[in-house]
Chain A
Amino acid sequence: MSDTTVRARANDIPVYQFDSLAWTSPKPLSESRVAVVTTAGLTTDSASLWSQSDEGFTVLPHGTTNLSFAHFSPNFDRSGFNLDVNTVLPIDRLDEMAAAGIIGSVAEQHISFMGAQADHNLATMRLDSGPAAAHLLREDGVDTILLTPV
């Protein structure tokens, strides 16, 4: 079985439909503070494993080197992350973009949720942990987030 088959199975899963979609005109990228939000289930230690259906999040301080791929589901390639964290959390690329003046700055902290949730409506993430993570990022002055889905 390949990823193509896995994707085909997931495509039929019904997901939450928002009544309306927010749209915000962003400030210029060269003035924007950028954070990464991933759904890779990353942790900052190798002793914990994300539990199934945990819709919480972890805070990943910028510059942390001891990241671990702790997603509950085994259904993802992990060798890419093992070789290069930027395959999932492209913090070095953002640092380069900030140094080149393409983006304003890089956030002090990034966020990891865990994707492939059992609750496809993601009620906890929409109503609790999602807004809480957004609050943390806004306190850090973040203007733009880069989502990396896993």
Chain B
Amino acid sequence: MEFPLGRPLGKPLDSGFQTSVISAAFDLLNEPSGPVLVDFPIIIEDASSEVLACAIPPRFNPDLHPAVDEALGLRAAYNRTVERYGRTSVGRTGTADEIPDLIDVFVKISDGTALEEIEVPGGDHIAVAMDLRSYYEEAALSLSDHVPDARQAESWIYQGTKLGEVLHGAQARLKAAGLDRRDWYYVMPSTQQRGD
């Protein structure tokens, strides 16, 4: 199966397609001997080059950092997604209420504060970055008018939001500080790295 990484059944919300993938796998059980390797006839590419068209609610508090203000504006959309699907992947280092504090970690890093001088919720800034991504990605699902192709929402975060600007700036600082690759590369996905 050559489907986007992270979508082993190929297409979300397409029960017919998912069933055809499973049926193709079960068909292999009829082979008289093995191992056997058969390619699924349909290939699906990711769409990382196509940023999700996702309207960001307007800013309303100029006293806040633009990324924090942006995140607060996304809260209603995030809530709608959680209400609709009944689950969230936000919560490793903070709740949705604490998103401003999580963003502040990367604002400080991007402004030049050394990582060891920052009180990082959960003690792991990579996990903080994961919570921020989850919050934005889950909000995006309620702001888009169609089922996003793979990596479209991801590209929106890192290429089209104030948070993305902060994360890219922070990553550059962490890399320049000579930290282990794990501590700067995993701030964002491989598909969103600049100069990689």
Contacts and interface: CB of A to CB of B under 8 A. Distances in A.
A48 to B, nearest CB: 7
Interface string B13-54: 101001100100110010001110000000001101100000
Interface stretch (A78-86, A120-128, A129-137): A78-86
Contacts of B99: none
Q: How large is the interface on A (under 10, 10 to 19, 20 to 34, 35 or more residues)?
A: 35 or more
Given A2-B46, A46-B88, A79 B8 contact: no
Interface of B: 4-13, 15, 18-19, 22, 25-26, 29, 33-35, 45-46, 48-49, 81, 85-92, 124, 127, 129-130, 133-134, 137-138, 140-141, 147-148, 150-154, 182, 186-193, 196
A59 interface: no
Interface string A42-79: 00011111001000000000000111111011111111
A23 B46 contact: no
Contact of A67 (B8, B46, B87, B150): B87
Contacts, number: 169
B189 A82 contact: no
B26 A29 contact: yes
B45 A82 contact: no
Contact of B190 (A1, A83, A90, A93): A1
6 contacts: A7-B5, A75-B189, A84-B13, A87-B7, A144-B29, A150-B5
A97 B19 contact: yes
A46 B92 contact: yes
A99 interface: no
B186 A87 contact: no
B89 to A, nearest CB: 5
Counting from the closest, the 3 A-B pairs by CB-CB distance are A76-B6, A46-B91, A77-B6
B177 to A, nearest CB: 20
Contact of B140 (A4, A5, A79): A79
A111 interface: no
B26 A6 contact: no
Given A46-B91, A87-B11, A78 B137 contact: yes
A81 B18 CA distance: 13
Contacts of A7: 5
Contacts of A81: 6-7, 12
